[in-house]
A and B are shown apart, each in its own frame.
Chain A
Amino acid sequence: MDVVVWSRIQFAMTAAYHWLFVPLTLGLALVMAVMETLYVVKKDPFWKKAAQFWIKLFAINFAVGIATGIILEFEFGTNWSNYSWMVGDMFGAPLAIEGILAFFMEATFFAVMFFGWNKVSPKFHLASTWLTGIGATISAYWILVANGWMQNPVGTTFNPDTVRSEMASVAAFWEVISNPVAVSKFCHSVTSGWVTGGIFVVGVSAWYLLKDRHSEFAKKSMLIGAIVGLVGSGAVMLSGDSSGVHAAEFQPMKLAAAEGLEDGGNGAAFTIIPGIKVPKMLSILATHDVNGFVPGINDILNGYTDNEGNVIPSVADKMAMGRQALDALAVYRSAGDPAVKADALAVMNANVQYMGYGHLSAPEEVIPPVGVVFWAFRFMIGLGMLIALVLLLALIAVWKDKLGAWKWLLWAAIVCIPLAYITGQCGWIVAEVGRQPWTIQGLLPVNVAISSLSAGAVKTTFFVFLAVFALFLAIEIRIMVRAIGKGPDVEPSEA
C-alpha cells in the first residue's frame, strides 16, 4: 500500500476513534441537562442524584475523548500538507473558533457542573450543565462547517498567487458557515448523538433492571433516555432526508455509490437490499419528486441533464477543463508578461470549478468503492431503525409497566449500545468513503493533497496510534464499567 492509502487509513482510524466519544458526549449532555432541569423544577432530590450519576459517566467519556480530535489536526499538517496549505484560513478559521470556544466553555461551565454542586445556586448549576452541552454542540458545528466545505466548497475563490482557496468577504464567510451541507451534517450528526446517548441510558438502565438493582432509578432514567433517543431518531430521519437531497445536488456520485446505481433515470427505485426495491422511492428521497431524475454512475461518467435543465459535462470533459485550469495556473505562475498572465488567469477562472479533475488519469477514478459505501449505507439505516424501534418499545414498556415481563427487550437495549456506535461509524463511512477520490470535492484529489512522505513513516505512526488508542479505549471501558457497576450512589461531595 502506498503513502496515500496508509495516510487515509490512519486518518480514518483517528476520526473513527474520535467519533466513539463525541456522540455520547452530545447525547448524555442532553439527558443529564433534562434530568437536572426536572430536579430544579420539581425540587425532587431524586433527579439530582440521577443527573449526578449520568454526569459522572459523561465525565468519564469526556476525559478519555478529550483532545482525540487534535490528532486529526496533527495529521493535516504532517500527512496532508498540500491540502492544509490550499484550504488555508477557510479551514483554519472554523477549527480555531472551535478550539477557543471549546476551551473556554469547557474550562468554565464544565468545571461549574462538575465541581460546583455545593458552590453555586441550583439554577446557576443547571445553566452550567446546559451550557456544557450547548458548548459541545456548537463545537461540533464548527468542525462540520470545515467538513461540509470539503464536501461542497462554497464561499471561496482560488487565488493563483497564494495557491489557496480564500474567503474574500464577510458575505463569503457567511456562505461558508451557512453551507447547506454543513447545516444538514450538523443536524444529522448531533441528533445521531442524541440517539446514542438515549440508547446508552436505556441500555445501562436495562442492565440494572436485569440485575434487579436501582429499579426506580433505572425506570425513570429509561423513560428520559427513550424520549431523548426517540426525539433524536425522528430528527436523524429528517436531517438524513436533507442530507440525501444535498448529496443528490452536490455529490451525485456519492448517492449513486450508496445506491449501487449504475444507470439512473426518472422515477428511480430505492434498493433496500439487492433484489428488493421500492419503486420511485429513490427519486422521492433524492429530489422530493416522484419522477425526479437521479443520475447513476454511468450517467455521471458520460454526462447528463439534471432536474433544473443544466447540462452536466461528462467526466472526460471535466478532466479536459481541469487540465486547462492547471495548465493556465502553470502559465500564470511562471509568466512575466502581464498580458500572458491575464489570459492565463481568464482560462483558469473559466475552468477552475473542475480543476481537481485535471489531476485524474482516467474517468473511472471518480467512482468511490461502491460495495463499501452501499453496505455501510444499509447498515446505517437498518441499525438506526432497529434502535428507534427498541427505544419506542422501551418507552411503551415503561409507560405500560411491562419491563418485568419484557426481559428480551432489556437484553435488546443492551445489545443496541454497541450497535449505535456501529451505526454512527457507518454514517461516516458513507460520508467520507463516498466522496472519494476527493479531499475537496472537484478541486483536490487525495493523491495531490498528500505530503511528500514515505509510507513507512505513516505506517509507524499508524501502529503507534493503534497501540495508544487501544490502551486508552480499554482504560475508558474499564472505568466506565466500574462506574456503572457501582451504580447511582454518588453524593455531591464525592465528585
Chain B
Amino acid sequence: MPKRIGIFSFFTSLYRDGFRNMTWGKPLVWLILLKLFILFAILRVFFFKPAMKGLTDQEKSEAVGAVLTKNHNEDTLIITE
C-alpha cells in the first residue's frame, strides 16, 4: 500500500526539491528576493512612511475632517427647511 503524504509534507518537499533542482529559475528567485528587500527594507522604511502613522482613529478623523472643512464654517451655511 503506497504511503500517504500529508499536505504540509507535500508542499515542503515540493518547494525544497523545486528550489534545489532549479536551473534557469534561480536568478528569478534572487531577483524576487532583491526586489522584496528594496521594497520593504529600503523604500518602505526610508521613503514611504504612512503620513498619518502614530495617530489614533479619532485623530485621523480630526485631521482629515479639518482638511475637508478648511474654508467652510457656520457663517457660510444656509439651512433651508
Interface size on B, residues (CB 8 A): 47
Measured CA separation A205–B35 after assembly (Å)? 30
Which residue of B28, B44, B65, B80 contacts A333 across the interface (Cβ within 8 Å)?
A: B65
Measured CA separation A439–B21 after assembly (Å)? 48
Measured CA separation A144–B61 after assembly (Å)? 27
Asked if A284 CB lies within 8 Å of chain B CBs, one says no
Q: Which residues of B contact A479 (CB under 8 A)?
A: 27-28, 31
Name which residue of chain B comes closest to A347, CB basis: B79
Q: Once the chains bind, are B51 and A451 in contact (CB under 8 Å)?
A: yes
Interface size on A, residues (CB 8 A): 62
The distance from the CB of A43 to the nearest CB of chain B, in whole angstroms, is: 23
- Chain A CB count within 10 A is highest, among B32, B60, B63, for B60
Measured CA separation A1–B55 after assembly (Å)? 29
Asked if A64 CB lies within 8 Å of chain B CBs, one says yes
1/0 per position for A44-69, CB-CB distance to B under 8 A? Answer: 00000000000010011001101100
Which residue of A164, A323, A346 contacts B72 across the interface (Cβ within 8 Å)?
A: A323
Instruction: Give the secondary structure class of A's interface.
Output: helix
The distance from the CB of B10 to the nearest CB of chain A, in whole angstroms, is: 8
Which residue of A63, A86, A116, A331 contacts B32 across the interface (Cβ within 8 Å)?
A: A63
Q: Once the chains bind, are B48 and A74 in contact (CB under 8 Å)?
A: yes
Q: Once the chains bind, are B28 and A63 in contact (CB under 8 Å)?
A: yes
The distance from the CB of B5 to the nearest CB of chain A, in whole angstroms, is: 10
Q: Once the chains bind, are B64 and A85 in contact (CB under 8 Å)?
A: yes
Q: Which residues of A contact B21 (CB under 8 A)?
A: 493, 495
Measured CA separation A495–B52 after assembly (Å)? 45
Q: Once the chains bind, are A330 and B11 in contact (CB under 8 Å)?
A: no
Q: Once the chains bind, are B25 and A81 in contact (CB under 8 Å)?
A: no
Q: Once the chains bind, are B77 and A452 in contact (CB under 8 Å)?
A: no
The distance from the CB of A315 to the nearest CB of chain B, in whole angstroms, is: 18
Q: Which residues of B contact A353 (CB under 8 A)?
A: none
Q: Once the chains bind, are B77 and A327 in contact (CB under 8 Å)?
A: yes
Q: Which residues of B contact A74 (CB under 8 A)?
A: 39, 43-44, 48
- Please list the residues of chain B having a beta carbon within 8 angstroms of any beta carbon in chain A: 10-11, 13-15, 17-18, 21-25, 27-29, 31-32, 35-36, 38-39, 43-44, 47-53, 57, 60-61, 63-65, 67-69, 72-74, 76-80
A-B CB proximity, top 9 nearest? A115-B18, A81-B51, A330-B69, A77-B50, A451-B51, A327-B77, A74-B48, A63-B28, A326-B72
- Beyond the given pairs A479-B28, A495-B18, 15 more chain A to chain B contacts, judged by CB atoms under 8 angstroms and listed by A's residue number, are A66-B32, A67-B35, A71-B39, A71-B43, A78-B50, A78-B51, A82-B64, A82-B68, A111-B15, A163-B61, A163-B65, A327-B72, A451-B52, A475-B31, A494-B23
A-B contact pairs, 22 of them (CB 8 A): A56-B24, A63-B32, A66-B32, A67-B32, A67-B35, A67-B39, A78-B50, A81-B51, A81-B52, A85-B64, A86-B64, A111-B14, A163-B68, A328-B79, A329-B72, A331-B74, A331-B77, A346-B79, A464-B43, A468-B43, A472-B31, A493-B21
